[in-house]
Amino acid sequence: MSTDSESGAARRGAGAGAVAGRALGVLASLVRIVTVVFAAILVLHVVLVVTSANPQNGVAQALAAGADRLTLGLGDLFAPTSPSLAVILNYGLPAVVWLIIGVIVARLIGALGR
């Protein structure tokens, strides 16, 4: 009889491990999605500024406000004379950093689930 109870406990342990692995996989996916959305907000802001979109437009204002919060302190790192180049560098670099952060954190979380 002890063999049956031991095998049942092993199955429950394996099931719990599988659930935890799936949960960590979902968490890794969410991290990737969030960091890609952050990068997209920064890139959209760059596109709107470089293409001279109306800065008084509600969408442009919302993207600018969001982008300002997502620069990771890099929003004024570069000071080129061209305003377009300044926006590309100061908002493009944080977009790339967000993508790198997403990949690294998602891989670390995924490794925990294995």
Q: How far is CA 40 from CA 20, 35, 61, 65, 70, in A?
A: 30, 9, 15, 14, 11
Residue 81: its pLDDT value, please?
Answer: 96
Answer whether 0.85 is exceeded by the pTM: no
pLDDT digits (tens, 9 = 90+) for 17-66: 788 889 999 999 999 999 999 999 999 999 999 999 999 999 999 999 99
Domain count, the chain: 1
Domain that holds residue 80: 2-112
